[in-house]
Amino acid sequence: MNFLIAIISESYANVMSKTIVSLYASKCDFNEETCILVDAYNKVTGGGIKSRIFILSANIETKNENNQWAGFVRVIKNSIEMEVTSVKKEVIALRSEMEKSNTKNTKMMEEIKDLILKKSE
Residue 20, CB half-sphere, CA atoms under 13 Å: how many? Answer: 12
Q: Tell me which residue of 21, 51, 26 sits closest to 37, measured CA to CA.
A: 51
Residue 69 is predicted with a pLDDT of 57
For every one of its 121 residues, what pLDDT tens digit does the chain have, with 9 covering 90 and above?
777 677 777 777 777 777 777 777 787 787 778 778 777 777 877 766 555 555 444 444 444 544 555 666 677 777 788 888 888 898 899 999 999 999 999 999 999 999 998 888 7
**Is 9 in a helix, a strand, or coil?**
helix
Provide the whole-model pTM: 0.39
Q: Tell me which residue of 89, 57, 59, 58 sits closest to 76, measured CA to CA.
A: 57
Residue 28 is predicted with a pLDDT of 78
